[in-house]
């Protein structure tokens, strides 16, 4: 069985959400619309920005550099100084500049958020090879010099293990048939309660209809759990409706949504930051026996599970505390209870 899993895994690699088309230990790739079927929100209302990231990849075969751009999403967690949280895998092969070797990236259309003179001055993130081996390291903190004239409210990070009934997931991604958007899209999803039970992601009825495709998806799902070296570090949402049927009209994260916020409301009706989008898994191939597949629609439109990295997890919280003590403006819903600091390697 273990050998079968490894063989299948080579064919059904988990796909991360940065629009890099490269590997997270395995593969970073493409997906579908920006929070598919989500609703548009002003970025100022949900404290979310789009990042334009510049990358460089060395082509060994011709011994030359290839340059490309990508987008990711990020959550505003502080204003003094302006501080963003995003996914570390967004910075794979990022170009560096200046004496500090800072990533070449910027906030798209900062004027829409009432910002000007925005310049990156600090970046905290672990190397991609570390992230590739442990998804709990998929976190980056970016600190900017900026003038902020708007009344934008930074997101406080929700501490504790409480799992809400609904999570609002937001981001700037786009995919098949989607025009670019100046504003993020959001969608509400119920979190998966038990990540050890694949039937909560894709029920047994689909296995009865196509056992091999179901097994491929289950193998991919199981391998993702092996990339997380700590319990309860990931949150997940499926694409099932209230009748436990896969529903391609349900909102889901996609390419460009990496680093976007997973939000919950507090008792005062204010949004708090629970997690950030890390990765998505989609089907390896369509099945004639699964009725939701549509002709002429690419497989990138069919994610079945998306993951968010929980920011209150001790592994992540220690990293955030280190960034906070080094100059980032990060606020929590209560004083962090984790005493140790975690310095990027």
Determine the average pLDDT of the residues in 34-53: 80
Q: Which helix (H) or strand (E) holds 200?
A: none
Confidence of residue 175 (pLDDT cuts 50, 70, 90): low
pLDDT at 10: 33
Identify the CA nearest to 258 among candidates 16, 15, 41, 43. Answer: 16
Q: Give the pLDDT confidence of 60-102 residue by residue, as tens digits.
A: 888 899 999 999 999 999 999 999 999 999 999 999 999 999 9
Asked whether residue 1 carries a pLDDT value surpassing 50, the answer given is: no
* Measured CA angle at 90 (ends 149, 296), to 5 deg: 105
Per CATH, 2-18+158-310 and 27-31+47-154+314-324 having the same topology is answered yes
Q: Which helix (H) or strand (E) holds 52?
A: strand 48-59
Residue 267 CB-density burial (10 A; 0-12 exposed, 13-18 middle, 19+ buried): exposed
Asked whether residue 14 carries a pLDDT value surpassing 60, the answer given is: no
What would be the CATH architecture of the domain defined by 27-31+47-154+314-324?
Answer: Beta Barrel (2.40)
| Tokens representing residue 92 in the block | 């794979």
Confidence of residue 144 (pLDDT cuts 50, 70, 90): very high
Domain boundaries, the chain: 2-18+158-310, 27-31+47-154+314-324
pLDDT at 56: 95
Asked whether residue 167 carries a pLDDT value surpassing 90, the answer given is: yes
Across 26-35, 182-191, 248-257, the highest mean pLDDT is recorded for 182-191
How does the average pLDDT of the chain come out, rounded?
84
What CATH code would you report for 2-18+158-310?
Answer: 2.40.10.10
pLDDT at 344: 61
Would you give the DSSP letter of residue 191?
A: B
Confidence of residue 303 (pLDDT cuts 50, 70, 90): confident
């Amino acid at each position: 069985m273990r050998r079968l899993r490894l063989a299948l895994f080579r064919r059904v690699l988990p796909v991360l959400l940065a629009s890099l088309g490269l590997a997270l230990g395995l593969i970073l790739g493409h997906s579908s619309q920006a929070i598919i079927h989500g609703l548009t929100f002003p970025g100022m209302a949900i404290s979310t920005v789009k990042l334009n990231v510049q990358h460089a990849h060395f082509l060994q075969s011709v011994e030359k550099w290839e340059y490309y751009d990508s987008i990711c999403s990020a959550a505003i967690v502080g204003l003094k100084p302006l501080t963003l949280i995003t996914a570390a895998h967004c910075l794979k092969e990022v170009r560096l500049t200046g004496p500090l070797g800072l990533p070449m990236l910027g906030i798209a259309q900062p004027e829409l958020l009432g910002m000007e003179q925005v310049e990156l001055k600090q970046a905290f993130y672990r190397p991609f090879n570390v992230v590739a081996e442990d998804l709990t390291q998929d976190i980056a903190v970016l600190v900017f010099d900026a003038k902020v004239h708007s009344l934008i409210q930074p997101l406080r990070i929700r501490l504790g293990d409480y799992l809400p009934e609904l999570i609002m997931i937001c981001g700037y991604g786009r995919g098949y048939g989607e025009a670019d958007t100046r504003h993020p899209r959001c969608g509400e999803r119920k979190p998966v309660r038990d990540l050890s039970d694949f039937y909560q992601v894709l029920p047994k009825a689909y296995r009865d209809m196509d056992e091999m495709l179901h097994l491929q998806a289950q193998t991919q799902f199981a391998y993702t759990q092996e990339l997380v070296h700590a319990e309860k570090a990931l949150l997940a949402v499926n694409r099932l409706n209230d009748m436990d049927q896969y529903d391609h009209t349900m909102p889901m994260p996609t390419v460009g949504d990496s680093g976007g916020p997973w939000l919950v409301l507090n008792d005062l009706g204010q949004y708090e930051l629970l997690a950030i989008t890390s990765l998505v898994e989609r089907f390896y191939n369509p099945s004639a026996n699964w009725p939701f597949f549509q002709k002429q629609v690419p497989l990138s439109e069919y994610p079945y599970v998306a993951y968010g990295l929980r920011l209150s997890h001790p592994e992540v919280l220690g990293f955030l505390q280190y960034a906070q003590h080094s100059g980032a403006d990060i606020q929590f819903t209560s004083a962090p209870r984790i005493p140790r600091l975690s310095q990027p390697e």
